[in-house]
Amino acid sequence: MNADILFLNNKTMEELGVLDMQQAISDVEKAYVLNANGDVISPGKCVLRWGKTPEDENIYGRINAMPGYIGGEYDMAGIKWIGSGPMNYKKGLPRASVTVILNDPDTKLPVCIADGTAVSTMRTGASGGIAIKLLAKSNASVMTICGAGAQAPKQLEAALIARPSIRELYIYDIRPENARRFEETVNRTYPGIKTVVTDNIEEATRRSDIIDCVTLAAEPFIDGSWLKPGSLVMNMADFEVSYSCVERADKIVVDYWESVKHRMISTVALMWRDGLIKDSDIHAELGQILSGMKAKRENDDEVIYFNAVGAGILDIAVTTRCYRKAMATGKGVKLSFWE
């Protein structure tokens, strides 16, 4: 018996619609709901680290393995293998590179190898957009994005789908050239949005309805006393916001609580480690809110803290959509895996 495997490179993935944010949001929402309903297998991340301390990770990087199975209409197993080289920018290379392997859940044979770099940025942007849809004020108009790297445009794209009321954007980055480059992109793509590049993160936070942090920060740079009533602070990566942001929150929401604790790098995870919060202090996971098990934002005065750590099932969902379209349209390169 022969078995084939389909190879999808980055250009083919683009042709298959990987950059469609509306579709990515739909995939990620379905994955969250399937997780809440127990129709996934998600063992969590295995992290391959270089260096001896967590801070070394910001210099030497890491590679994460994120396996999983997602049921429902996807019914697909696979793994995301993502390398992160923080110093790659000095070589003119992207920080993140991703390979996704899909496996038939029946035979367990691999059926697809796909470039997952865009998949990863899109599903992370989609997660941010879903959080904003459920947790931001309905009339949110001012947003701050901290970290003007590859993820920033996707966070903004998804945010504008969730809250087209956004009219003003503060951009904060420790590298001013990154902030200015992102501002140029925003001005070109969304001319109706006022942009402000700032090094005064306190002022930006105090004015913002949504504060979205997508950085590599190992030390917090946002204080809870700066959060105005009704604000949503999004801790999308590492130790970006102070403990006081979580203490100030009326609701603490995460994507996958067990994965957040396993990763042990975000603010809310460190507080759990230090005994400052308990499992019962977590209001909800996104899937529980989408499924109607838990409440979303209930009024315009709530301060809400959100933390996302991600899971391989999100990448598997997006990649499966593209893979099935490739099979239907004849795209990609078919290779003989087993003869």
Report the CATH number that the domain containing residue 334 is assigned in CATH. Answer: 3.30.1780.10
Verify that 162 and 279 share a domain, yes or no: yes
DSSP state of 92: T
Verify that 13 and 93 share a domain, yes or no: yes
Domain count, the chain: 2
Q: How far is CA 185 from the centre of its chain?
A: 20
Verify that 106 and 245 share a domain, yes or no: no
Tens of pLDDT along 227-256? 999 999 999 988 999 999 999 999 999 999
Verify that 94 and 177 share a domain, yes or no: no
Tens of pLDDT along 140-153? 999 999 999 989 99
pLDDT of residue 54: 64
Verify that 319 and 302 share a domain, yes or no: no
Tens of pLDDT along 283-298? 999 999 999 999 999 9
pLDDT-based confidence at residue 173 (cuts at 50, 70, 90): very high
Residue 14 burial (CB count, 10 A): 15
Mean pLDDT, the chain, rounded, equals: 95
* 251 belongs to the catalytic site: no
Verify that 143 and 283 share a domain, yes or no: yes
pLDDT of residue 263: 85
β-pairing, 96-103 with 76-84?
antiparallel
Verify that 44 and 80 share a domain, yes or no: yes
Verify that 222 and 115 share a domain, yes or no: no
Report whether 244 contacts 224 (CB < 8 A).
yes
How many angstroms separate the CA atoms of 245 and 228, rounded? 11
Which comes out higher in pLDDT, residue 58 or 29? 29
Verify that 322 and 296 share a domain, yes or no: no
Verify that 225 and 115 share a domain, yes or no: no
How many angstroms separate the CA atoms of 74 and 31, rounded? 9
pLDDT of residue 241: 98
Q: Exactly one of 80, 133, 154, 294 is catalytic; name it.
A: 80
Residue 155 burial (CB count, 10 A): 27
Verify that 260 and 163 share a domain, yes or no: yes
Verify that 287 and 332 share a domain, yes or no: no
Radius of gyration (Cα) for the chain, nearest Å? 20
Domain ranges, residue 73: 3-120+312-338
pLDDT of residue 95: 81
CATH number, position 194: 3.40.50.720
Tens of pLDDT along 122-172? 999 999 999 999 999 999 999 999 999 989 999 999 999 999 999 999 999
Tens of pLDDT along 255-273? 999 999 988 989 999 999 9
Tens of pLDDT along 27-47? 999 999 999 999 999 998 888
